[in-house]
């Protein structure tokens, strides 16, 4: 294997089932397309089933014979998460890869999910926390749970236990940062619990650097076009850290993958480090407890 890991390094996935959230566009779509091309049965878990069906058709057109199905999932609704988990369990004998990719970024004004959670925290973290808890015992030998984080977990980021939903002083950069820090705290705490329970599943994380996707539509500072093109990378490149975390046989539990370029903004995937705060076990345990209370989901591990 060369030093630069690419989609060509993804091993054969025949016989494996992958659930990818937010996979009708952007990073999730490119992640799903590569897995399907390598033989996985891919479940596109998306909020809009029509857009999901269009994405499935694009994948099948590019890769005739690809096994792709669509599952309606709105991560901003715990009722939708529960329904989706039930349907996935009923329709799939087992899951080999659960890729928690969906998310939103820098929503300009404070918005709440239907359950009353701040939109970033509710969608990016709590929705995925609940989905993972409802599916974790459906994952088999050699399975992986991959959560997609961000370099933003270092920017104005802390878990606001006193006000997680920004009832006072909404700041979209801090809100997004909290949700992405939560993704990492969740991944590392989940890995500790899976290992302690002797489960055959590992939890790992990845981040895409800065990728040119729909997520960038709310970016808070205007960026000149030329600088934007230099600093960002295409979605198919941004998907590579997730694909590596999900499929590279050398990946170990609790690892974190991101681009190898300057500032981890772009490049090929490599093992990277996350902030000291993301490894704080006291914060992770507090977040886990709070997440269980808010979602009503307890992990059977």
Catalytically active residues are: 176
Which tokens hold the place of 114?
A: 């239907």
Distance CA 233, CA 237 (A): 6
Distance CA 103, CA 168 (A): 23
DSSP classification of residue 111: -
Distance CA 179, CA 159 (A): 8
Distance CA 71, CA 48 (A): 9
Which tokens hold the place of 6?
A: 């690419």
Q: Which of 173, 155, 252, 156 is nearest to 205 (CA)?
A: 252
The set of long-range contacts for 85-90, using a CB threshold of 8 Å and a minimum separation of 24, is: 85/130, 85/131, 85/134, 85/135, 86/134, 88/19, 88/43, 88/45, 88/135, 88/138, 89/134, 89/135, 89/138
Q: Phi and psi (nearest 5°) for 256?
A: -140, 125
**Region for 155 from its dihedrals, namely left if φ exceeds 0, alpha if ψ lies in -120 to 50, beta otherwise:** beta
Location of structure tokens 């897995």 = 35
């Amino acid at each position: 294997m060369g030093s630069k890991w690419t989609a060509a390094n993804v091993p054969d996935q025949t016989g494996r089932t992958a659930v990818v959230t937010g996979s009708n566009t952007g990073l999730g779509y490119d992640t799903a397309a590569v897995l399907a091309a390598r033989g996985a049965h891919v479940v596109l878990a998306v909020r809009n089933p029509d857009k999901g069906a269009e994405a499935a058709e694009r994948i099948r057109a590019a890769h005739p014979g690809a096994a792709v199905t669509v599952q309606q999932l709105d991560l901003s609704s715990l009722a939708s998460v529960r329904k989706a988990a039930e349907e996935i369990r009923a329709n799939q004998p087992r899951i080999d890869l659960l890729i928690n990719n969906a998310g939103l970024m820098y929503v300009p004004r404070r918005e709440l999910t239907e359950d009353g959670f701040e939109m970033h925290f509710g969608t990016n973290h709590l929705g995925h926390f609940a989905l993972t808890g409802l599916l974790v015992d459906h994952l088999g030998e050699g399975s992986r749970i991959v959560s997609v984080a961000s370099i933003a977990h270092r920017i104005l980021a802390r878990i606001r236990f006193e006000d997680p939903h920004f009832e006072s002083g909404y700041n979209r950069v801090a809100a997004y940062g909290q949700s992405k820090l939560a993704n990492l705290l969740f991944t590392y705490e989940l890995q500790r619990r899976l290992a302690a329970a002797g489960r055959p599943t590992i939890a790992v994380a990845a981040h895409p650097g800065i990728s040119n996707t729909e997520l960038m539509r709310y970016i808070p500072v205007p960026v000149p076009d030329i600088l934007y093109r230099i600093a960002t990378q295409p979605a198919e490149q941004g998907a590579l850290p997730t694909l590596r975390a999900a499929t590279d046989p050398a990946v170990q539990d609790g690892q974190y993958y991101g681009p190898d370029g300057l500032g981890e903004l772009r490049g090929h995937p490599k093992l990277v480090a996350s902030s000291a705060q993301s490894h704080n076990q006291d914060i992770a345990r507090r977040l886990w407890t709070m997440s269980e209370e808010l979602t009503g989901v307890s992990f059977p591990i």
